[in-house]
Amino acid sequence: MIEEPEQLTPAMFHVLLALADGERHGYAIMQEVESRTDGEIQLPPGTLYRTIKILLQAGLIERSSPQREAMEHDTRRVSYKISRLGRKRASSEAARLAKIVALARSKKLIPEPA
């Protein structure tokens, strides 16, 4: 395991968010991020797999054990899941961003929620 990144990049945070509610393979992560952001954020394959590699090396995500049936149909498809450490980092990042949003609201840069 390499040293954990000090700052999560937006791509790293979005991958962790996509995995927060269950394991997914790479293409499903791309679809989840694009869908959840209404197409504003897209992770092209190069960015996605570079990000996955960094997250794996830092221990923030793990490869999921492939199910026997899935392996027989498509050996290329690897699923990933968020690790306990990854969930902790994603939670910390979400709290940090919430503080920034609260500050922006206090400065009247964005409206209060309805």
Domains along the chain with CATH numbers? 10-106 (1.10.10.10)
Nearest-5° Cα angle at 41, 81 to 105: 100
Each residue's pLDDT tens digit, 20-48: 999 999 999 999 999 999 999 999 999 99
DSSP 62: E
Q: What is the pLDDT of residue 4?
A: 64
Supply the pTM of this predicted model: 0.85
- Decide if 4 contacts 89 (C-beta within 8 A): yes
Helix (H) / strand (E) element for 34: namely: helix 26-36
What's the pLDDT band for 58 if we cut at 50, 70, 90?
A: very high
Closest CA to 34 of 99, 47, 61, 59: 47
Q: How many residues does the chain have?
A: 114
Q: What is the pLDDT of residue 113?
A: 84
